[in-house]
Amino acid sequence: MSPADRAAAAFKASFGVQPAGTVFAPGRVNLIGEHVDYNEGLVLPMPVRHGTAVAWGPGSDGLAHVVADDFGESDRFSLAAPGKPSDIDWRAYARGMVALAPTRPEAGVCLTIAGDLPRGSGLSSSASLCVALGRALASAAGTHVDPTALALAAQRTEHEYAGVACGIMDQMAVAAGEPGHAMLLDCRDLSYRLIPLPRDWAVLTVDSGVTRGLVDGEYNERRAQCAEAAHLLGVASLRDVEPAEFDPSALPEPIGRRAAHVIAEIARVRQAAAALETADLSSFAAILRQGHASLRDLFEVSVPQVDALVDGLQGELGKRGGVRMTGAGFGGSVVVVAQQGAARQIGERLASRAQAVYGMDEA
Ligand code: GLA
């Protein structure tokens, strides 16, 4: 059953009536531009096929009644004062979005949630959850919501309700992305351009099987190191540093290596967008390989199992595509961008661990 069908069935089972509507938000995979969004850099994510559905219906008691079908759990709280749970689980996101969403119904609302993104796999299940909730709240209020405003509310929810000082990439890709298109997003002003993938390319994700642990603390530490680097270099953000002018030895370690990654990674995103627009797969693949090496050696957010998976898949692909870790790191998924036949081979061989994102319909 699709998440939308499951959410609708859970609604009927929980509230005794059919939902008034069902909304969906995908997860995202980042093609290139890792750990640069919070440095006001450029990123190149795209939505995946899997995601989160929320079925919604009206209420009249001033409360939000929320059921998480994936966990068999529920929550009930005041729409006017949702409160902040001390445990960070799906309830923290639900309450955060009710508190911060651009629009919400006043009289009451019933919501059921069902998703099919593996949690901890680096495909942004939390951004998908937040954006789906925001869409459901807007529908229940009878309004439309601007995708950028929705993305910003979802990001604030991560910051204020989940304690993760994330950037804006995931939420923008989920709220404003389009299937089959990469989003060249400027995280400084949130302007973006959607670039269609060439017809003979394919994108797939492969789960490393390493569930991300301790990632929030490591993530916040990397973010603080980047801010420190910008401060020491006398710039507002690392986006302002030209690669040719950067001297990593001017900074203490490991801050110099962190900054070196960010500055070169922003340049890689520009090159990757150009390669995408000219359907130059061999240049695009080379950029993915450089990006992975930089995350492994300079930013130090990969783990040996992920490196081994990347190396193995790259060996299998040869010149037919590129592969790298994707997302915050410390486990999760890798992304493969390849010729369709090569991607299909990998998809068939890895079956349940591989998820088609684009260009593998025939698989
Ligand atoms: C997580 C964050 C994003 C981004 C990536 C790394 O997905 O939520 O904002 O920083 O890590 O690129």
CA 118, 121, 126: angle at the middle one, nearest 5? Answer: 70
Evaluate: CB of 216 within 6 angstroms of ligand 1: no
- Confidence grade of residue 351 (pLDDT, cut at 50, 70, 90): confident
Mutate to test the pocket of ligand 1, among 169, 300, 333 (most ligand atoms within 8 A of CB): 169
Q: What percent of the chain has pLDDT over 90?
A: 91
Residue nearest to atom 9 of ligand 1 (CA): 167
Q: Does the active-site annotation cover 170? A: yes
Residue nearest to atom 1 of ligand 1 (CA): 328
pLDDT, position 213: 62
Residue type, 231: H
Residue nearest to atom 8 of ligand 1 (CA): 166
Mutate to test the pocket of ligand 1, among 36, 37, 302 (most ligand atoms within 8 A of CB): 37
Q: Which residue, 146, 204, 197, is CA-closest to 175? A: 146
pLDDT exceeds cutoff 80 at 362:
no
Strand ranges of the sheet holding 181-186, from the earlier edge strand across to the other edge = 42-43, 181-186, 192-196
Evaluate: CB of 35 within 6 angstroms of ligand 1: yes
- Confidence grade of residue 88 (pLDDT, cut at 50, 70, 90): confident
The DSSP result for 298-357, as a single string, is TS----HHHHHHHHHHHHHHGGGEEEEE-SS-SSSEEEEEEEHHHHHHHHHHHGGGEEEE
Evaluate: CB of 38 within 6 angstroms of ligand 1: yes
pLDDT exceeds cutoff 80 at 49:
yes
Higher pLDDT, 10 or 119: 10
- Stretch among 14-18, 87-91, 109-113 having the lowest mean pLDDT: 87-91
Residue nearest to atom 5 of ligand 1 (CA): 328
Report how far ligand 1's centroid is from the alpha carbon of 35 (Å).
6
Catalytic site residue from 37, 75, 116, 170: 170
Q: Which residue, 341, 324, 326, 329, is CA-closest to 48? A: 326
pLDDT, position 119: 77
Report how far ligand 1's centroid is from the alpha carbon of 22 (Å).
27
How close are the terminal C-alpha atoms of the chain, in Å? Answer: 20
CA 251 – CA 170 distance, rounded (Å)? 30
Give the predicted TM-score (pTM) of the model: 0.96
Mean pLDDT, residues 96-123 taken together = 94
Average pLDDT of the chain, as a whole number:
96
Q: Contact, 32 vs 268, CB < 8 A?
A: yes
Report how far ligand 1's centroid is from the alpha carbon of 254 (Å).
20
Q: Contact, 251 vs 231, CB < 8 A?
A: no
Residue nearest to atom 2 of ligand 1 (CA): 166
pLDDT tens-digit map of 313-329? 999 999 999 999 999 99
Closest ligand 1 atom, CA of 34?
A: 12
pLDDT tens-digit map of 183-228? 999 999 999 999 999 999 999 999 999 987 656 788 999 999 999 9
Closest ligand 1 atom, CA of 168?
A: 9
